[in-house]
Amino acid sequence: MTRHPKPDVAQVITDLILEKIAAGTAPWLKPWTSTSTRPLRHNGVPYSGINTFFLWAVAESCGYASPYWMTFRQALELGAHVRKGESGSFSVFYSSARKTDTDRQTGETTEKTIRFMKWNHVFNGAP
């Protein structure tokens, strides 16, 4: 099995935003000339944060009319199909977790916050 290197999601998002700015399109503004609405998860919950801007820009660039986005697994659960060879976009999730460490010598515990970013491939619901 061939392992592909993990994409630099932050760089992909940055590159698309810079491409839109260079083309004269402000990616943080809704493309009013399109029929798209705020990007929605498969269950109708709106995306927030950078996902809103990024998925708007992707939908506008690709001409997607559907506001719905879903992972491959969510598409299967809904009875939808992702076409073979179809490439998805990214949806990112930022969060933090608290971790408690105990010093083995002193028994002293310390808490630290670990910040992380996860991402998923998402596919637009347009036919």
Position 123 confidence tier, pLDDT thresholds 50, 70, 90 = very high
pLDDT digit string, tens, across residues 32-61: 454 447 899 999 999 998 888 889 888 888
Cα-flanking dihedrals φ and ψ of residue 122, to 5°? -125, 150
**Is residue 66 in a domain?**
yes
Q: Is residue 68 part of a domain?
A: yes
CA 21 – CA 5 distance, rounded (Å): 28
**Is the whole-model pTM more than 0.75?**
no
For residue 62 the two structure tokens come to: 């690709």
Q: Which domain holds residue 63?
A: 9-90
pLDDT digits (tens, 9 = 90+) for 64-98: 889 999 999 999 999 888 888 888 888 888 889 99
Whether residue 105 lies inside any domain: the answer is no
Q: Is residue 29 domain-resident? A: yes
103, part of any domain: no
| Torsion, Cα of 17, 18, 20, 23 (10° steps) | 180
